[in-house]
Structure 1
């Protein structure tokens, strides 16, 4: 007979599905295919002075915009120029305005499927982010750095405020905007055309000392005298308290530069061993410029942070800002060792290129930015241009086919998140060791329980809230749609933590089933276990649903999964909205900082878990359903059972809070969360009925032998 609480829980399941926040059905994107009058209206907003908007050109997909007969600039759809996929797996379609002088006039969003903006943070943070491009020039180097956003822009470097919780999405948007705008500028804007690319001749080398490198122009040199600096600043250098007193004959700034990739330069400056070590570290197409300086004002300050963009120094070529970032590789293995080389106050190896690229055989310029405070209110500024010209005999021209493509976007993201990658990998190794040798470790129940709760805390705090490693059913239909459209692994590599977790989870499904993820690696699942623990401490008794009803309720999550997957192929936007059946985004991604219907739904599920252990996981989770289906391909039964399990012993079944053990003692791997509690019981001689029975039998046999011996005597 079904209990009253069981009926209540059944109604709760149905009401939970019916009462998903109505906000999920709100329209979260612009028209997918804007008609021409709507598009014209958008372009008019990008160019308010426009009197004529021409049709898309045949030779290059841009819309010329005129005020009478004066060309104001071009508007274009980013998808016509760059098809870089967003984090959702679908391109972010933007309408971008670019003036005839290479400045952004504005950006409109035509279509996107980034879930964090559609149903998480909402569209406003996205609009605020793209609004930062208006008025910015292609000659500036745009860096996403929220800590420096709002600071006064130095020549060639502008810091944009990113969006918390949407780092990958805004990086993709930035790359889409800059790469497409640079292509348009090089095809359509006068003065932005790029010279034919060149590469260093790798078999051209002769040993040269420092002076010979200078004499041949292989190392460039520029010197700014004290008097010239004073004339540019308009005052005596003694007015600046941050400057030390100059030594006799010392320059204000003395600067040297060299293109390291050319062997005649790099091998002589770094030595054969240092040059070889650097080559091993470089990725295909990566270019390196060495900059050294002496004087009162070196090219980087004493507190310069290695691995960052130099604030005092910028690089320009063809009127475009060229990305310049310190590589932080000068150490005891890689040093400047040319014969006769002087000592330098500062020396750096910079990676150069980025979206704009860098052609070593074309003229360029280093821009030295001087900012000197007289006091806390007054700052004097001056800028100096240092011509960069390298000898043509060191390079060979490339045909278009020979040009080395830019490294994929995900490469930089993996480099930036190396610490998270390391910690997540170590945690997965430890988890694998525990599960591989579980028969040994479960002999120490206190250690296993301590490890489990420590790991769950790591899962919630680090994997979930910090590293944003919450897997979702959205990832499943993103994968299926990606396979349907032509598989591109680069989409999944954009988030290294999610990629590592998905790869590990997928492999583990064939060994242990769904339980390894659901019981150990799901942040919301771990949060539910903590809610259950809290309920016990508060004296709230956990309800156990009757077996027949439980077996029916666990099936609810499967039609949910099928419905979401089917909807995704019909409308990805609708599927993303319906995916709010998962409370992951509200609780883990957004820290419960969201509109109240979403928060109420997530809190209600956690509250239900205080009465029924892991209520959401057992009955509503479409992700768990998908993992359970794949987990049916599992080839091993790692959780041991013995003959007495189920008949007569029901201890493991009573202790299994997830109710994944059947009456006959068999493990239901589709529902099991691999908490290992049943294995701990089986290994405990004081709990396992089989062990207790074996000891009793052994005592009876020993007693019988003793009686037989006494009788024989």
Structure 2
């Protein structure tokens, strides 16, 4: 009978996952002294940004300090929970051009690395980011993927047995770097996810004067007097000789991808060629130096490097600098549209990834730099800007839905998911049709052994889909601290298996996973089968002791989840009660105490069949508790079961059949031996007796233990 007193302890243990969401997410805590230890002299740590938790790392160049990198903790920008439910914390140094200067692991709770592979492989993994660019999507490949031909600019080598963890680390690195890039570097800026393009068919023939009058083409002119005023008090007010009204710099600024601007300034042929090279969604800004040929301040003069990001010209929007790079268009003899003044010019490309919205106001800024001092000169800069406002009806805006981070994991693991789906598609019909293969006492044991071998080899070692108490710990940590359960999506095979197991718990109870889909459970059964010729005698555990030992796994479960909820550092140590990480995830490649423990449990299994599963497994305890909601009494029984027949009870190696014939479903591992017996007229004692007396009997339900 299902007594409410039986259910209450189980639900109480499970409710540890659903306690109040009152704990705030953790934040980075590195002090200036900590940052200085990671960036020693000659580098200098600047003042922490008052808007973002970012430290500028400075390097002296020609007597002045320039930004070498921006240092920050991933936890402040992308607290993505790892497989243990706790976000890793990484120290990242991002160069002004978006290149990773350094990436270090500050802290993590990834189970596969804690007392497993060790943290060294993780440290080596993040070192691969140095030199890569946050402007490009970076994916985690297989181990040695780059040596196998994967592009080294966009791929980092994965770590065997740590697929989910490395993908989480990758997303933490990229998401936090892009967050800083939006605030400090200008790419991936405020309008990420919004594609703004000029309407290609909207064109009016306009002269340069008309474009200037409408404000669609802008001029940025700085006179000597204006520059003197800007540099007042610096000691470099004057630079060279000339009248106050002389022009130091005069720039023409225009957004060329708008047909009414670009076609009129460049002409039909050059505009068409530009748009083909530019590509959809990208933008082109022309900057032309219209001042006198001898103007002292010409940012596009002989020193300008084609294809580079200009040193003295920046495009910004909403207070963020937008990445604008010279398109390296051939200038010699190219010629420009009618009416444009002669002079040096460039076309700056702004990629769609920059989040630039040309329908909103944007600014072009020119920096004028002067030097003070003879020996250790000091550079002093002043900026001069012009704003462009274009009508919104020149553009179309399309919201672009970006893919969630975890979708790459699902695409990469589809062969594994297909194999797992095929396994489940084979298993379910076999278990449902009890009078089919299950009833065949000759073929069914061979099928079961073969299936368990596939579970161990494919589910365990190939797919790395050994379910674990660690997932429940992650759920507790996420519920209490991060409130983010997306970490489950980074391990598709395990998530699919969890979904199936939860469904099978409702239908059949604990046994489907523990008896068929647990790789460590399969390892124990296969070891017992291999040792069968040795005829090792099983130890008969006294009934009273057996009942007491079965409660231990619930105490282990409560201790692990309780320590996790209390944020105790002992939680991960308690989780080592499971040997799954040692035997399956790490293939016994651990220090000897862990290996000895796992091997010892396999040896114990030879004397006390699946003793770990029956007495110690915390995951089995959790599944047994949830399995009490089971809706099917799927094991057939006869009135004679238990009284007088005890055959099924004697044959049950798990001790899941009580003396009175009732099934103890929370302890049943769905091996189907009793089902095979009851459908076999040659084994089922009541059927054998009935046959002798020429009677026909039919299995009927019997009261069961829930």
Of residues 78, 102, 115 in structure 2, which corresponds to 1:82? 78
Partner residue in 1 for 2:642: 646
Partner residue in 1 for 2:524: 528
Of residues 313, 318, 325 in structure 1, which corresponds to 2:323? 318
Q: CA deviation at 1:616?
A: 0.8
Q: Equivalents in 2 of 1:490, 1:467: separation in Å?
A: 20
- Does 2:591 align with 1:595? yes
Partner residue in 1 for 2:372: none
Of residues 46, 49, 52 in structure 1, which corresponds to 2:42? 49
Q: CA deviation at 1:444?
A: 2.0
Partner residue in 1 for 2:51: 59
Q: CA deviation at 1:153?
A: 9.8
Q: Summarize the Cα distance change of 1:198–1:480 in structure 2 as closer, same or farther, 3 Å threshold.
A: closer
Relative to total residues, which structure has the larger helix share, 1 or 2?
A: 1
Specify the SS of the correspondent of 2:649: helix
1:418-440, Cα deviation, whole Å (9 max, x unpaired): 11111111211222212222244
Gaps of 5+ in 1: 1-31, 207-214, 223-254, 262-316, 321-352, 363-391, 701-713
Q: Equivalents in 1 of 2:278, 2:428: separation in Å?
A: 50
Specify the SS of the correspondent of 2:125: helix
Q: How does 1:602-621 map to 2 (within 5 A)?
A: 602-621=598-617
Q: Equivalents in 2 of 1:467, 1:36: separation in Å?
A: 38
Q: CA deviation at 1:644?
A: 0.9
Of residues 409, 425, 429 in structure 2, which corresponds to 1:413? 409
Q: CA deviation at 1:33?
A: 7.7
Specify the SS of the correspondent of 1:147: coil
- Does 2:166 align with 1:182? no
Of residues 147, 153, 156 in structure 1, which corresponds to 2:144? 147
Contact 1:198 1:395 (8 Å CA) reproduced: no
Q: CA deviation at 1:450?
A: 2.3
Specify the SS of the correspondent of 2:599: helix
Q: How does 1:185-264 map to 2 (within 5 A)?
A: 185-189=181-185, 199=195, 259=280
Q: CA deviation at 1:393?
A: 12
Q: Summarize the Cα distance change of 1:660–1:190 in structure 2 as closer, same or farther, 3 Å threshold.
A: closer
Q: CA deviation at 1:508?
A: 1.1
1:254-294, Cα deviation, whole Å (9 max, x unpaired): x9996599xxxxxxxxxxxxxxxxxxxxxxxxxxxxxxxxx
Q: Equivalents in 1 of 2:270, 2:581: separation in Å?
A: 57
Q: CA deviation at 1:543?
A: 2.4
Q: Equivalents in 2 of 1:589, 1:606: separation in Å?
A: 16
Q: CA deviation at 1:524?
A: 0.2
Q: Equivalents in 1 of 2:404, 2:593: separation in Å?
A: 39
Q: CA deviation at 1:601?
A: 0.6
Q: Equivalents in 2 of 1:186, 1:441: separation in Å?
A: 61
Specify the SS of the correspondent of 2:557: helix
Using CA pairs under 8 Å that are at least 6 residues apart, name the structure with larger relative contact order, 1 or 2: 2
Partner residue in 2 for 1:625: 621
Q: CA deviation at 1:219?
A: 8.8
Q: CA deviation at 1:690?
A: 1.3
Q: Equivalents in 1 of 2:134, 2:197: separation in Å?
A: 30
Q: CA deviation at 1:517?
A: 0.7
Contact 1:52 1:67 (8 Å CA) reproduced: no
Q: Summarize the Cα distance change of 1:453–1:196 in structure 2 as closer, same or farther, 3 Å threshold.
A: closer
1:449-472, Cα deviation, whole Å (9 max, x unpaired): 222112111110000010011111
Contact 2:509 2:624 (8 Å CA) reproduced: yes
Of residues 479, 501, 516 in structure 1, which corresponds to 2:475? 479
Partner residue in 2 for 1:670: 666
1:561-620, Cα deviation, whole Å (9 max, x unpaired): 110110001126421221011000000001111111111110010011111111111111
Q: Equivalents in 1 of 2:427, 2:27: separation in Å?
A: 48
Partner residue in 1 for 2:580: 584
- The TM-score normalised by the length of structure 1 is 0.65
Specify the SS of the correspondent of 2:94: strand
Contact 1:516 1:674 (8 Å CA) reproduced: yes
- Does 2:94 align with 1:98? yes
Contact 1:42 1:108 (8 Å CA) reproduced: no
Partner residue in 1 for 2:69: 73
Q: Summarize the Cα distance change of 1:216–1:426 in structure 2 as closer, same or farther, 3 Å threshold.
A: farther
Q: Summarize the Cα distance change of 1:614–1:193 in structure 2 as closer, same or farther, 3 Å threshold.
A: closer
Specify the SS of the correspondent of 2:622: helix
Q: Equivalents in 1 of 2:407, 2:430: separation in Å?
A: 32
Q: Equivalents in 1 of 2:148, 2:36: separation in Å?
A: 31
Q: Equivalents in 1 of 2:120, 2:648: separation in Å?
A: 51
Structure number, greater radius of gyration: 2
Gaps of 5+ in 2: 1-25, 203-267, 283-321, 326-350, 360-390, 697-706
Q: Summarize the Cα distance change of 1:139–1:202 in structure 2 as closer, same or farther, 3 Å threshold.
A: closer
Contact 2:104 2:127 (8 Å CA) reproduced: no
Q: Summarize the Cα distance change of 1:82–1:644 in structure 2 as closer, same or farther, 3 Å threshold.
A: same
1:237-267, Cα deviation, whole Å (9 max, x unpaired): xxxxxxxxxxxxxxxxxx9996599xxxxxx
Q: Summarize the Cα distance change of 1:637–1:406 in structure 2 as closer, same or farther, 3 Å threshold.
A: same
Q: Equivalents in 2 of 1:216, 1:165: separation in Å?
A: 56
Q: Equivalents in 1 of 2:73, 2:584: separation in Å?
A: 34
- Does 2:120 align with 1:124? yes
The CA RMSD measured in Å over matched residues stands at 4.0
The number of equivalent residue pairs is: 514
